[in-house]
Amino acid sequence: MAALLLTIPFTPNLSAGFEDGRLDYTVQFNGKRVDWHSFAFFVMPGEITPLRVLGQPDAEVTVTATGGELSLIGDRRWQWQAPDEPGLYPITIQPADGRPMTLNVLTKVPSSEVEDGWLGEYRIGEYPVKPLRGNPIYLPPPGKIEVWPEMMELPVSPNFTLGQFLCKQQPDHWPKYLVLREALVAKLEIILAEVNRRGIHTDSFVIMSGHRTPWYNQAIGNGRFSRHVWGGAADIFIDTNGDGRMDDLNGDGRIDMRDAQILLDIIEDLYETRKHQRLHGGLGLYGPRPHRGPFVHVDARGHEARWTVP
């Protein structure tokens, strides 16, 4: 792809009006640290999860939960036990002199309730019995997020919503079921902030494809170990004019692979910084087709993989 090395025709700055949602303190929940004003976590029924507030050393902090059992276990340390019923159970962290953080915690439906590839009347399909190369990230997910129409706009982070990641199958059926990894959501927020810092203003990415059930993934002819099946991948593009295709990022009057290359190059540059080396994962560059524009595949597999589909 050396022929596609381009200069981004934008002035690097913080794009006007973009809000990255960062706070001046961090919360550690279930071993993961976040500093955004809203973020979603996905847990199993009855799961006990530690919560810790980092930063704000001199401020009183109040933590409240709308369901489950919340217990104070130490200085700025709590533990929360999820309810047995699937659903949304927000937890709010409120420093006395700071902005609140909302953790939109969703209790999942156990995958043991899938029967013959179906969860109720929603088709799931079958996950591979043996993980790829013995890698545990390819084990069948233990649970599924139950999604109803009123949850489509639920923030999973400051600039992404739950509905953006749904599989495209059975559009009129509810509830739907979703698998989503927190690591992917965090990665997309970090990439989005960097894109805006480079001077390309966009409030979010279009997620052309997020989660795919094993059944749907097979039906469209994709490989059985696609990271989409485990909720760890997203096919994204920038569409600020709402025409359903990648924007003309290089300003040449055409929508083609060179525009997707600009987005991919920004992501690669981000990965090379010491602060974000942990973000390494899969990156794929895809050219346009008659029914869609070019896009970039991003995933959180935890090791580097690169490919191009002209």
Residue 202 has pLDDT above 90, yes or no: yes
Report the alpha-carbon distance of residue 151 to residue 163 in Å, rounded.
7
Residue 58: pLDDT band (50, 70, 90) is: confident
Residue 78 in this model has a pLDDT that exceeds 50: yes
Residues of the chain above pLDDT 70, percent: 95
- pTM for this prediction: 0.93
CB 63 within 8 A of CB 51: yes
Q: How far does CA 71 lie from the centroid of its chain? A: 29
**pLDDT given at position 57:** 72
pLDDT tens for 3-46 read 222 223 333 444 567 999 999 999 999 999 999 999 999 999 99
Q: How many Cβ atoms from other residues are within 10 Å of residue 215's Cβ?
A: 17
Q: For the domain bounded by 14-107, which CATH number is listed?
A: 2.60.40
> Mean per-residue pLDDT for 55-84?
94
Question: In what helix (H) or strand (E) does residue 93 lie, and over which residues does it extend?
Answer: strand 87-95
In which band, very low, low, confident or very high, does the pLDDT at 276 lie, cut at 50, 70 and 90?
A: confident
Whether residue 287 contacts residue 280, with contact meaning beta carbons closer than 8 Å, is answered with no
Average pLDDT of span 180-190: 98
Residue 297 confidence (pLDDT)? 99
* CA dihedral angle for residue 70, residue 73, residue 75, residue 79, rounded to 10 degrees: -40
pLDDT at 72 over 70: yes
What span, in angstroms and rounded, lies between the C-alpha atoms of 69 and 307? 46
**Helix residue spans in 76-181 (DSSP H):** none
Query: Which pLDDT score, from 0 to 100, does residue 16 have?
Result: 60
Residues 6+ apart with CB under 8 A from 292: 208, 244, 245
Distance in angstroms (rounded) separating the CA atoms of residues 168 and 165: 9
DSSP, residue by residue, 37-51: SEEEEEE-TT-EEEE
Residues of the chain with CATH 2.60.40: 14-107
Compute the chain's Rg from CA coordinates: 20
Question: Two tokens at 113?
Answer: 């309730």
pLDDT for res 309:
97
User: What are the distances in angstroms from CA 230 to CA 100, 124, 131, 173, 274?
Assistant: 31, 12, 11, 21, 27
Q: What is the mean pLDDT of residues 60-65?
A: 96
Average predicted confidence (pLDDT) for the chain: 93
Strands of 305-309's sheet in order across: 206-209, 233-237, 295-299, 282-286, 305-309
Q: Which residue has 């809000």 as its token pair?
A: 19
| Residue 297: closest CA among 221, 215, 217, 207 | 207
Q: What percent of the chain has pLDDT over 90?
A: 88
Separation of alpha carbons 89 and 81, rounded Å: 11
Sheet containing 38-43: give its strands across: 38-43, 101-107, 87-95, 61-65
